Amino acid sequence: MTLYLVRRLAVLVASTAVAGVVVFAFMALLPGDPAEIALGVNATPEAVAELRAQFGTDRPPVTQFLDWFGGLAQGDFGTSYVTSAPIGPQISDRLGVTAVLVLGGMAVALAVAVPLGTYAAVHHRDPLGAALSALSQVGIAVPAFLAGILLVFVFAVRAQVLPSGGYVPLAEDPGEWLRSLLLPWLSLGLVQGAVLTRYVRSAVLDVLREDYLRTARAKGRGRTGALWRHGLRNASVPVVTVLGLQLATLLIGAVVVERVFVIPGLGDLLLNGVAGRDLLLVQGVVMVLVAAVLLINFVVDVAYHLLDPRLR
């Protein structure tokens, strides 16, 4: 297991380095000069050249990449081309908000998918089990931003029990913090919960057909007891893989949901950077999101080996 962890860590580091090259190259290929954008169309060539030297964009691309990636390793994301403010504190301030949003959405998805998917599998011949399966299929077709708009209409506009947007820090008011995140959590979690329900149902159905579960039933255990004692851990192995993909999807979906609910997270920072043509800020946020996806995949791989002893 230790050797496996070392190998996976090496792959994680190498993947992060390759991702850094891809992100940097993609941003470098975009049209527009940060110095010309910052100074405007009436800037003189001398002023543009001076600002390029200040930004460091007059150096060879390889030198720029090595300085940027070396700074990332030390937590230095550089300085914004537009506001001249350090990028690192901006990202760190908003990273916590996005992390809470994603983890809360995943908690909602699991709370929906595990019981409903298990019930739909155990009762797959019953009308209610078939109805749950069909309902999850409908939920897959609903994008997170549309779910957010519908939830705002129902709970904020009609019922007026939850705010339609905005964010209150936890330290300022825990109650309002929770109320401000309920609709974003639901909009992310219900959609991903519908997707995850299908996988939980399929995994539990496969387990129900296994010989060891029939043997447990034959030895006197009830259906629920046999499934709880012998089935759910085995059913969780394929679900964990899908869970990692769902976390990555939630991370990307949070970009849109943050804009819908006016939440100051990484997605809002990314879209503001794109709108302001702040390329270095966009580059830093994209790199953080990519690194988060790679880290999620690493954790899923390790969890997969811990759950399934055959892989060890």
Closest Cα partner for 192 from 181, 180, 182, 200?
Answer: 200
271 and 147 share a domain? Answer: yes
pLDDT in tens, 62-101: 888 888 888 888 888 888 887 888 888 889 888 889 999 9
Question: Cα dihedral sign for 82, 86, 89, 95?
Answer: positive
Which residues are CB-neighbours of 252 under 8 A, at least 6 positions away? 289
Of 186 and 38, the structure prediction assigns the larger pLDDT to: 186
Q: What is the pLDDT of residue 312?
A: 61
pLDDT in tens, 227-263: 777 667 777 777 777 887 788 888 888 888 888 888 8
Distances (CA, A) of 199 to 98, 253, 264, 283: 26, 20, 32, 34
DSSP class of 76: -
The CA-based diameter of the chain, rounded to the nearest angstrom, is 86
Q: What gap in Å lies between CA 210 and CA 270, rounded to an integer?
A: 48
Count of structural domains within the chain:
2
Q: What gap in Å lies between CA 105 and CA 170, rounded to an integer?
A: 17
Q: Over the chain, what is the mean pLDDT?
A: 82
CB atoms within 10 A of CB 196: 25
Domain region containing 32? 2-87
Which residues are CB-neighbours of 74 under 8 A, at least 6 positions away? none
CATH number assigned to the domain comprising residue 150: 1.10.3720.10
pLDDT in tens, 191-215: 888 888 888 888 888 777 777 777 7
Last residue of a domain, one of 39, 54, 87: 87
Please tell me whether the overall predicted TM-score, pTM, comes out greater than 0.85 for this model: no
290 and 149 share a domain? Answer: yes
78 and 139 share a domain? Answer: no
Amino acid identity of residue 52, one-letter, is R
Q: How large is the average pLDDT for residues 263-281?
A: 85
